[in-house]
Homo-oligomer: A and B are copies of this chain.
Amino acid sequence: MVSTKRLSSRNRPARESGSERRAELLAIAAELFATRGFLATTVRDIADAAGILSGSLYHHFDSKESMVDEILRAFLDDQRRTNEQVLREAPDPRTAITELVRQSFAAMQKHRAAIAIFQNESKYLEQLERFDYLTQAANDFERTWIRVLQDGQRAGVFRADLNVKLAYRFIRDMVWTTVHWYNPRGKLTSSAIADQYVKILCEGIAEPEKP
């Protein structure tokens, strides 16, 4: 049974995805990239934090860029899938917006470091060809939110005088920048923050009920 053709974690080449050690190292790198910044973090910093020497990292990864690439792709794939599900299931624009916000905050539990990196380093990484998908992902998010806002305007649940592009940026910045100060072990749960934000947001942009 050992000589099966299926690649188990025992015989899979180390430089491909799936090994537990890789995952550990990626988590360590993600944390450092998020807190110190990608450029300010050296491969020696990562190796030190992992208790190995810098050269040993190259047994697992091609380069520092490959590491951040994997971290970001994992987050963006996950986020895109979840957004699509929200849009499929939401019965109306107001629910859709609320759920998109709540779901973005929820992502902070799982992808806190990746979100911070996406926020802080996109401007730099987008200059490199291999990270073109970051620009595409940002455009995808924008299209999704703007469509929901416009649908809501047409349906009369969002103010007609709202500049949807501006409102989108407003919501996006509000949600994502939370990662800069959010503390996963603090008093405020991501759910509580989401509730407070959605409340401020909706009572600002929702058309008041006609009496």
Contact A196 B37 (CB under 8 A): no
Q: Output the residue of A39, A169, A178, A202 with the most chain B CB within 10 A.
A: A169
A90 within 8 A of B: no
Q: How far is the CA of A199 from the CA of B40 in the complex (A)?
A: 39
Bound together, the chains give a CA A123 to CA B38 distance in angstroms of 12
A166 part of interface (Cβ distance < 8 Å): yes
Quick one: CB contact mask for A119-145 with B, threshold 8 Å, 1 for yes? Answer: 010011001000000000000000000
For A178, list chain B residues within 8 Å (CB).
Answer: 169, 173
Say if the beta carbon of A61 comes within 8 Å of chain B: no
For the residues of A in contact with B, the DSSP-based class is helix
- Taken residue by residue from 134 to 173, chain A's Cβ proximity to chain B (1 for < 8 Å, 0 otherwise) reads as 0000000000000000000000000000110011011001
Size bracket, chain A contacts: 20 to 34
A185-200 CB mask vs B (1 if < 8 Å, else 0) is 0001000010011001
Q: Are A200 and B205 in contact (CB under 8 A)?
A: yes
- Chain B contacts for A167, CB-based, 8 A: 200
Please state if A36 and B124 are interface contacts (CB–CB under 8 Å). Answer: yes
Closest residue of chain B to A37 (Cβ to Cβ) is B124
Query: Which B residues touch A127, using CB under 8 A?
Result: 36
Our pick among B35, B169, B197, B203 for the contact of A170 (Cβ within 8 Å) is: B197
Question: Which residues from B are CB-within-8-Å of A13?
Answer: none
Question: Across the two chains, which residue of chain B brings its CB closest to A173?
Answer: B177
B-contact 0/1 string along A43-84, CB 8 Å cutoff: 000000000000000000000000000000000000000000
State the A residues within 8 Å of B (CB): 35-37, 39-40, 120, 123-124, 127, 162-163, 166-167, 169-170, 173-174, 177-178, 180-181, 188, 193, 196-197, 200-205
